[in-house]
């Protein structure tokens, strides 16, 4: 509870939201899986109203919690024993551990961590609303895998951008604008597709990212080659697109989805002979690593990437150190 007696609901160890839940809206309990699902929907609604969490974050929490609820209904021994009538109040630590053990057999650790984070947030919300202790409190998250992001060298990125099948086609002009902007500004794909033309200040050479991860706005620089590519695409784009004001559209003028952009970038990677080496998100990693290698400081990179924690940005120092080590081994006669 805060000083005003309002419940405080933690979303993660790094961020929380404070909200007032009306007593009659707290519906935890019941004896069927449907009631647990209703509790999850109440949590998602409260998260969306009382926090800075984006719609994607809220939907991710809801989806992960529904997966946990489905596991409780489908786990061995549940059917025919009466256990299918699950109750939020009777879920205990053993249920959660069994779910995590099942996930660890096939899922990546990052997935397990995300699912557990959703479960912990849900039960912290319930604890604040009803006073019932969280069964997930003492469960530790599995350690993260120390995997360095895969990147391309600067010449490889240049070749990727310059590889065109039909240089003057509208699709090629758009695809080049996509690649240039992703690499120039380190945007997430979801942030790129949300861009409107009003968000680009050509005179200052800056982009405004609206409601990025964590539902935060930020300003990032954009290079002249990317601006040139954007100008070329704007002059060639369908008239219908101008009315909608979206920067990245299909050839009919409708805003592209993140999945469509990912497919475009993946196809260009294949065309450049780099398919499978990095993901479309890897251009963001290339941006950060190349900036760091050329003298940019971590704090500036953190701000441009929109990272909440400097620790997230610091992994790029490991990439730079690994690169230096490889250069040293290849070049020094007594390495």
Q: Would you call 316 a catalytic residue per the annotation?
A: yes
- Looking at the DSSP bridge assignments, the partners of residue 8 are 18
Q: Would you call 284 a catalytic residue per the annotation?
A: yes
Look at residue 201 and give its three-state secondary structure: strand
Rounded Cα distance between 131 and 240, Å, is: 54
Tokens of 111: 């997935």
Using the Cα atoms of residue 78, residue 81, residue 86 and residue 87 in order, give the sign of their dihedral: negative
Q: Which of 62, 124, 188, 274 is catalytic?
A: 188
Rounded Cα distance between 116 and 149, Å, is: 23
Q: Which of 109, 244, 281, 315 is catalytic?
A: 281
Q: Which of 126, 213, 285, 290 is catalytic?
A: 213
Q: Which of 61, 125, 183, 316 is catalytic?
A: 316
Q: Would you call 330 a catalytic residue per the annotation?
A: no
Number of residues that this document lists for the chain: 335
Half-sphere exposure of 300 (CA within 13 A, CB side): 10
User: Do 207 and 199 touch, CB atoms closer than 8 A?
Assistant: yes
Q: Would you call 188 a catalytic residue per the annotation?
A: yes
Distances (CA, A) of 172 to 11, 93, 228, 268, 334: 42, 53, 14, 10, 47
Contacts of 220 (CB under 8 A, 6+ apart): 185, 186, 187, 206, 207, 209, 304
Contacts of 259 (CB under 8 A, 6+ apart): none
Catalytic positions, written as ranges: 188, 213, 281, 284, 307, 316
């Amino acid at each position: 509870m805060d000083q005003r007696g309002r419940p405080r609901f933690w979303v993660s160890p790094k961020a929380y939201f404070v909200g007032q839940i009306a007593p009659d809206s707290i519906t935890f309990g019941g004896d069927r899986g449907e009631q647990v699902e209703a509790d999850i929907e109440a949590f998602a609604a409260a998260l969306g109203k009382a926090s800075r969490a984006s719609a994607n974050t809220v939907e991710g929490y809801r989806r992960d919690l529904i997966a946990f609820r489905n596991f409780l209904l489908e786990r061995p021994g549940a059917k025919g024993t009466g256990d299918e009538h699950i109750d939020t109040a009777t879920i205990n630590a053993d249920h959660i551990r069994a779910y995590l053990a099942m996930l660890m057999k096939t899922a990546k650790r990052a997935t397990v961590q995300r699912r557990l984070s959703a479960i912990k947030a849900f039960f912290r919300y319930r604890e604040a609303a009803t006073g019932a202790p969280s069964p997930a409190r003492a469960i530790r998250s599995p350690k993260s895998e120390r995997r360095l992001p895969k990147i391309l060298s600067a010449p490889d990125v240049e070749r990727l951008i310059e590889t065109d099948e039909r240089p003057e086609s509208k699709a090629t002009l758009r695809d080049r604008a996509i690649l240039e902007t992703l690499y120039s500004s380190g945007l997430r794909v979801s942030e790129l597709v949300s861009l409107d033309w009003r968000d680009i200040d050509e005179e200052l050479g800056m982009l405004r990212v609206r409601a990025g991860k964590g539902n935060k706005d930020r300003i990032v620089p954009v290079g002249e080659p990317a601006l040139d590519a954007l100008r070329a695409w704007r002059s060639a784009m369908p008239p219908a697109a101008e009315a909608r004001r979206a920067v990245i559209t299909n050839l009919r003028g409708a805003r592209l989805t993140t999945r469509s952009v990912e497919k475009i970038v993946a196809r260009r990677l294949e065309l450049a002979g780099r398919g499978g080496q990095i993901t479309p998100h890897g251009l963001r990693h290339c941006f950060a690593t190349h900036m760091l290698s050329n003298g940019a400081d971590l704090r500036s990179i953190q701000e441009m990437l929109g990272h909440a924690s400097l620790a997230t940005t610091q992994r790029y120092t490991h990439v730079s150190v690994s690169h230096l080590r490889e250069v040293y081994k290849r070049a020094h006669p007594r390495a």
